[in-house]
Amino acid sequence: MSTKARKSRAARKAPEALGSRRAKASRATLRSAAKQPAVRDVRKKLGMTRKAFSRLTGYSERTIANWESGQPLGGTRLQRIAEIQRLQKALARVIRAEYIGEWLQRPNQGFAGLKPLEVIERGEADRIWRMIHELESGEPD
């Protein structure tokens, strides 16, 4: 059997049988996929449309639709969705969960008339976190 034929035959085998780096990477991907937040669940818990969620995350509606249909997230995308999920959970401690989406999209005097979503889009999510902290502690700065 020629070297080329052996390589072709080996390439058809399952990566696990090969014991290759690719197999290890594949197993790592499967493990991280099990830990990934379900994008649709995060969006639904926020009570947001894909369009609004797109603004919140900074990713396109098409990308979000792909994630919701099972395309895996990786790297900074996974980190961003995990951050949004943490924000949702924190907001649910100070705002009734069913109103979070509406609250994010309404002008708020606490943010100089900006919508909390706009505050996040501007890269000032720390202002939202500060508000959550103040509400939880009962002591405004």
The DSSP string of 54-70 is HHHHTS-HHHHHHHHTT
Residues 6+ apart with CB under 8 A from 81: 36, 37, 39, 42, 57, 67, 73
Q: What tens digit of pLDDT does each residue of 77-92 get?
A: 999 999 999 999 999 9
Which band of pLDDT confidence, cut at 50, 70 and 90, is reported for residue 24? low
**Residue whose C-alpha is closest to residue 63's, from 39, 41, 35:** 39
**Which DSSP string do the residues of 18-45 spell out, in sequence order?**
HT-HHHHHHHHHHHHHHHS--HHHHHHH
